[in-house]
Amino acid sequence: MKQNLTLTIASLITIVLTSLHFTHDNLHDKQGVDLVGVTILLGIMLLLVYATIELAGRRLGYVIIALGGLAAAYMPYLHGMGPSSTRWGFLFIWTMLAMGVSGLFAAILAAQALFRSFRPAA
């Protein structure tokens, strides 16, 4: 049970950091806020929250959390994290790094729980 609590907390932290990341992206977009993109991102966030809260302990929830965690872990690489990202400031870079670490941690915990769910009960 303690493992599921850790997974839930790690997933919720990843969701909060991902929402901060999306906010940074929208604030720094030269063309302004794209309503279609924001709607899609809100749907993704809703799916992640639903998987974390309602699908906790189920295989589908583990799969969704693992995919969301891997996507969050990929964001620092997707943005390059090079010299051009430093113009966005300290909070952006910290958010990227923290989101990557917490996303990878959540993905690892979800994968462990998913593999454990396939083991026959002893």
pLDDT band at 1; cut points 50, 70, 90: very low
Average pLDDT estimate for 71-93: 78
User: Which is higher by pLDDT, 82 or 99?
Assistant: 99
pLDDT averaged over every residue in the chain: 86
Per domain, the residue ranges of the chain are 2-118
For residue 48, CA distances in Å to 45, 56, 85, 118, 120 come to: 5, 11, 26, 22, 28
Average pLDDT estimate for 97-115: 94
User: Which is higher by pLDDT, 31 or 82?
Assistant: 31
DSSP state for residue 31 in the 8-state scheme:
T
pLDDT band at 88; cut points 50, 70, 90: confident
pTM: 0.85
Neighbours of 48 (CB within 10 A): 24
- The pLDDT assigned to 85 comes to 61
